[in-house]
Amino acid sequence: MRRMDKVSLAHKLSLFHDHWHPRIVGELNGQHVKLVKFQGEFVWHHHEHEDELFLVVEGRFRMEFRDRDVWLERGEFLIVPRGVEHRPVADEEVSVLLFEPASTVNTGNEAGPLTRSTLERI
């Protein structure tokens, strides 16, 4: 990723195939743009200090909250404010763009086997 190259979401998504493992595809103003593929159920967690944006690039998934679910389709986004417990669940593979502070760890307060604390730039 060179400074001021344009980024094709489809191209970047073709470079990896594993789930729940975000890659960094852009950085600006202390924030990261990431791409990730979800399939199955993630862990319940929240982020103490970070609001998190999820934009569906391809496919669909649901964001579970403690009191309701929100289904997200391609071309839709959702902002999960800091402190709010959530769990993404995807019955089939979905590709998602994330926009969040560079400090954000994928599993938030719930460190465990799905935690990815160092992310690669692709």
Q: Which residues bind a second copy (CB under 8 A)?
A: 3-10, 26-29, 31, 33, 50-53, 57, 65, 70-73, 75-81, 84, 99-101
Shortest spacing between CB 113 and a second copy, in angstroms: 27
Shortest spacing between CB 118 and a second copy, in angstroms: 21
52-86 residues labelled b (16+ CB within 10 A) or e (exposed): bebbbbebebbbbeeeeeeebeeeeeeebeeeebb
Cβ closer to a second copy: 42 or 52?
Answer: 52
Q: Output Rg (C-alpha) for the chain, integer angstroms.
A: 14
Shortest spacing between CB 25 and a second copy, in angstroms: 8
Q: What's phi and psi for 117, nearest 5 deg?
A: -90, -20
Cβ closer to a second copy: 74 or 112?
Answer: 74
Contact 31, 103 (CB under 8 A): no
Cβ closer to a second copy: 27 or 110?
Answer: 27
